[in-house]
Amino acid sequence: MTVDARMADVMRASYGRLLAILSSRTGDIIVAEDALSDAFAKALIHWPAGMPNNPEAWLLTVARNRLTDLARRNARLDFQAEVVAPEPEEPDGEDFPDERLKLLFVCAHPAIDPRIHTPLMLQTVLGLEAEVIARAFLLPQTTMAKRLVRAKRKIKDAGIAFQIPDPDSIAPRVSAVLEAIYGAFSRDWLGAGALAEEALYLSALLAELLPDDGEVLGLAALISYTLSREEARVQDGRFVPLEDQDPGLWNRDLLLRGQSYLERAQALGGLGRFQIEAAIQAVHADRMHTGVTNWNALLQLHLGLSRLAPTIGATVGYAAAVGKSIGAQEGLDALMRVEAKVRASFAPAEATRAHFLSELGQSQEAAAAYTQAIALTEEPPLRRYLEAKREALAAKLR
């Protein structure tokens, strides 16, 4: 492996670990980022002559020295005082504490605007450039960069500590971290700016750091299962619904990972939104062995999900399961419980309604609903799928 490739490897694996260590004491992420990028720049100069035995320890020592320099310079400006530099620590890579969990809690702290939780995590834990994050969030780069800086300043100025929250407040704080990771996962999942890989990494990291939390494991399972179908869900540029996908195209490793996370979550005995969503994925995955989709099991899970987390997405999922396991009319009835105005602005709701109407032989209305769904859809593979459905209806009408 070339030095460049090894450096890229170290960067990816170590960035968040090192940044968490460097910023946890002072709470100043901005200064820690500067020190870390300084260390990476020095590595580019020194490493081609020979990689250090422990690259991570090397980087940490260089970055810490840089932090000390900066602190001394600031101290001199402020007080003209002499500050004694601490002895550089013996590089001992085995004993690094992993402070990334604290960093995750800081990024999703309730004192920080929830809309910036996910971008902040992507930048500080994974080292993603503001430009890449801005693209995924459909924002100009300067806007995203400004928001990230503002959030980091708030973390320092407000004195948000790098610590594991108290037992009496940890549950909502874990939820916020999960929401932020889910935010990366659900971002434009068919588009060029997709962050699914990053979300998988973050969810696996959180599962490693909080192995006894059912919802943490549930989210890791959900993301693993969903990503296992990356290949299968777009064929010839067109979206393929889960129940029509070729299981031969599913990624076995990721399916097994999802299964293992879900089994561990279920062994803990709790119940939560992400676990149910992962369980729904698991039922679909079973088709690989049984050849059929168990719609009755899905109906129960979707019912549970829509009761636990009554979002429009959950209600539409439930209606779709009703339609498959009971009948199109019953599915349509369940869907009609969603307020008409809300339904007409949510593409999956209109697409599902179109499907039911078409099954019930109401082709005119079905075509109109597909047109509405297409108007609400931006991802080209999904649009092509919906357009093909509408075209098939039009052919029937002719």
Partner 1 sequence: MRYTFLTYSRPEDFANVPPEELGQLKGLFGAYIGALKEAGILVATDWLQPVSAATTVSDGGNRIQDGPFAETKETLGGYMTVEVADLDTAISWAKKCPMAKYGAVEIRPTAMEG
Binding residues (CB under 8 A) for partner 1: these are 109-111, 157-161, 163, 165-166, 169
Smaller CB distance to partner 1: residue 142 or 169?
A: 169
Decide whether 41 or 164 has the Cβ nearer to partner 1. 164
What interhelical angle do 3-24 and 114-126 show, nearest 10? 130
DSSP 88: P
Cβ proximity to partner 1: between 6 and 76 the closer is 76
Cα separation, 275 vs 269, in Å, equals 11
Q: Is 111 helix (H, G, I), strand (E, B) or coil?
A: coil
Smallest CA-to-CA distance from 230 within 206, 280, 194 is with 194
* CA-closest candidate to residue 274, choices 173, 169, 185: 185
Dihedral angle at the C-alpha atoms of 4, 5, 10, 15, nearest 10 degrees? 80
Cβ 330 to partner 1 shortest distance, Å: 46
Sign of CA dihedral 20, 22, 23, 24: positive
CB of 97 to partner 1, least distance (A): 18
Nearer to partner 1, 158 or 336 (CB): 158
Is the CB of 169 or the CB of 296 nearer to partner 1?
169
CB of 168 to partner 1, least distance (A): 9
Residue 250 DSSP SS3: coil
Q: Shortest approach of partner 1 to residue 169 CB, angstroms?
A: 8
**What does 343-392 look like in DSSP terms, one character per residue?**
HTT-HHHHHHHHHHHHHTT-HHHHHHHHHHHHHT---HHHHHHHHHHHHH
- Closer to partner 1 by CB, 30 or 283: give it: 30
Nearest-approach distance from CB 77 to partner 1, in angstroms:
12
Write the DSSP symbol of residue 168: T
Instruction: Output the smallest distance, CB 160 to partner 1, in A.
Output: 5
For partner 1, the closer CB: 173 or 384: 173
Nearest distance from residue 360's CB to partner 1, in Å?
52
The residue (of 79 and 253) whose beta carbon lies closer to partner 1 is 79
Rounded Cα distance, 162 and 197, in Å: 26
Residue number, 151 or 222, with CB nearest to partner 1 = 151
10-46 burial string, b = 16+ CB within 10 Å, else e? Answer: bbeebbbbbbbbbbbeebbbebbbbbbebbbebbeee
Closest CA to 180 of 236, 257, 241, 124: 124
Determine the angle formed by the axes of helices 214-227 and 252-267, rounding to 10 degrees: 160
Output 7 or 106, the one with its CB closest to partner 1.
Answer: 106
**Residue 60 and residue 90 in contact, taking contact as beta carbons nearer than 8 Å:** no
* Closest separation in Å from C-beta 135 to partner 1: 32
CA separation for the pair 10, 14 (Å, rounded): 6
Q: In angstroms, what is the minimal distance from the CB of 106 to partner 1?
A: 10
* Range 331-365 burial, b when 16+ CB lie within 10 A, else e: bbebbeebeeeebeebbbbbbbbbbbbbeeebeee
Min separation Cβ 157 and partner 1, Å: 6
